[in-house]
Structure 1
Amino acid sequence: MLKRERHGAILRLVMDAPERLNALSDAMLAELSAAFADLETDQETRVVILSGAGRAFCAGHDLKEMQAHRADDDGGAAAWHDLFTRCGAVMQAIPRLPQPVIAEVQGVAAAAGCQLVASCDMAVAAEGTKFGVNGVNIGLFCSTPMVALSRVMPRKAVFEMLTTGRLIEAEEAQALGLINRIAPAESLANETMALAETIASKLGSAVRVGKRAFYEQAEMGLADAYDHTGRVMVQNMLDADTGEGIDAFLGKRAPEWSQD
Structure 2
Amino acid sequence: MLALEAYADAYPYAAFHREGGVLTIRLHTSGSDWVFNQNSQDTLARLMRDVAADRETRVVIVEGTGETFCAGLDMNEVGAFVAQFDAASADRWIVNGRNVLSAFLEVECPIIWCLNGPVTIHPEFWFGGCDIILADPAAYVQDLTHIGGGNMCAGDTLSVWESLLGLGRARYFHLMAQRLDADELHQLGIVHEVVARETQRDRAREIAAQLFRLPPLTLRYSRYSINSRLRRNAFLDTAPSYGLLGVAALETFGPQRG
Fold match by TM threshold 0.5: yes
**1:159 deviation in Å?**
1.7
In the alignment, is the contact (CA less than 8 A) between 1:115 and 1:146 conserved in 2? no
**Alignment TM-score, normalising by the size of structure 2:** 0.74
**Unaligned 5+ residue runs, structure 1?**
221-260
Moved more, 63-72 or 9-18: 63-72
- Could you tell me which of 197, 222, 225 is aligned with 1:213? 225
CA offsets 1:146-195 (integer angstroms, 9 cap, x no match): 33222222222222121112211101112223222111232122112221
**Distance between the aligned counterparts of 2:106 and 2:54, measured in 1?**
13
**Unaligned 5+ residue runs, structure 2?**
1-12, 233-258
**Distance between the aligned counterparts of 2:29 and 2:122, measured in 1?**
15
Q: 1:113 to 1:59 in 2, by over 3 A?
A: farther
**Distance between the aligned counterparts of 1:198 and 1:176, measured in 2?**
24
**1:217 deviation in Å?**
5.5
CA offsets 1:39-80 (integer angstroms, 9 cap, x no match): 2232211001112212211126645423322332xx344323
In the alignment, is the contact (CA less than 8 A) between 1:115 and 1:149 conserved in 2? no
Secondary structure in 2 matching 1:197: helix
Partner of 1:185: 197
**2:132 matches 1:122:** yes
**Distance between the aligned counterparts of 1:216 and 1:182, measured in 2?**
27
Q: 1:32 to 1:177 in 2, by over 3 A?
A: same
Please list, as runs of the form range in 1=range in 2, the aligned pairs for 1:146-185 lying within 5 A after superposition: 146-185=158-197
Q: 1:20 to 1:212 in 2, by over 3 A?
A: same
Q: Which amino acid aligns with 1:172?
A: E
- Could you tell me which of 137, 149, 152 is aligned with 1:141? 152
Q: Which amino acid aligns with 1:190?
A: D
Partner of 1:240: none
More relative contact order in 1 or in 2 (CA 8 Å, sep 6+)? 2
**Distance between the aligned counterparts of 1:180 and 1:155, measured in 2?**
21
Partner of 2:38: 26
**1:34 deviation in Å?**
3.4
**Distance between the aligned counterparts of 2:126 and 2:94, measured in 1?**
13
RMSD: 2.5
**1:85 deviation in Å?**
2.3
Q: 1:166 to 1:31 in 2, by over 3 A?
A: same
In the alignment, is the contact (CA less than 8 A) between 2:104 and 2:125 conserved in 1? no
In the alignment, is the contact (CA less than 8 A) between 1:141 and 1:162 conserved in 2? no
Q: 1:155 to 1:77 in 2, by over 3 A?
A: same
- Structure 1 vs Structure 2: percent identity of aligned residues? 19
Secondary structure in 2 matching 1:150: helix
Structure with bigger gyration radius: 1
**Alignment TM-score, normalising by the size of structure 1:** 0.73
**2:130 matches 1:131:** no
